[in-house]
Chain A
Amino acid sequence: AQSVSQHNHHVILSEAASLELGCNYSYGGTVNLFWYVQYPGQHLQLLLKYFSGDPLVKGIKGFEAEFIKSKFSFNLRKPSVQWSDTAEYFCAVIEDNNDMRFGAGTRLTVKP
């Protein structure tokens, strides 16, 4: 069974700083990749997804992620974070056999 690793447990940034959250997975076959976000007091919601095609995908609120197949990575980026980006971020991977995994999550705190 595959695993999904999110390397950073808690990231603290100041507003306007750039963000990159790491996500690595172990499965070598075809995957569908997702980033979900959970804002304080809200339910988990989709940030962006990758199924195929252009490995650079754009999501809501200025977030983007790049799928690098050779590195088994799907890192999340944002050029300039805002206080409202404070949330917990989860990477998720679904294999072609429907096996699915979430990472442990990264808590992002943005200081105003």
Chain B
Amino acid sequence: DGGITQSPKYLFRKEGQNVTLSCEQNLNHDAMYWYRQDPGQGLRLIYYSQIVNDFQKGDIAEGYSVSREKKESFPLTVTSAQKNPTAFYLCASSMAVKQPQHFGDGTRLSIL
């Protein structure tokens, strides 16, 4: 089945630690995205990538970093600089940036 796999489903982090969320797609999509979803705020874009080795900041990129070394993979690192990292993180992909997006099931990150 084609789709987007996010792992893990739940993640716990101690304050001061960096943590990396995984996102893999087998849809052969060029574009990939990371969103943060908080109650009452919808989805806010963290980073997106139009193509391998390229990525752009979204509205709330501070405290986050990404890489796009392979077409299938777009990992997100939540750094210790992110002041309020507890949230639900969604990864998505699309054939190109303006096309409909396919979403993963999300990763819920909590601070211990």
Contacts and interface: CB of A to CB of B under 8 A. Distances in A.
A43 B97 contact: no
A68 interface: no
Number of chain A interface residues as a range: 20 to 34
A110 interface: no
Contacts, number: 48
A101 B106 CA distance: 18
Interface residues of B, number: 23
A44 B103 contact: yes
A43 B42 contact: no
Interface string A32-68: 1010100000011110010100000000000000000
Interface of B: 35, 40-45, 48, 50, 56, 58-59, 90, 92, 97-98, 100-106
Interface of A: 1, 4, 6, 9, 32, 34, 36, 43-46, 49, 51, 90, 92, 94, 98, 100-105
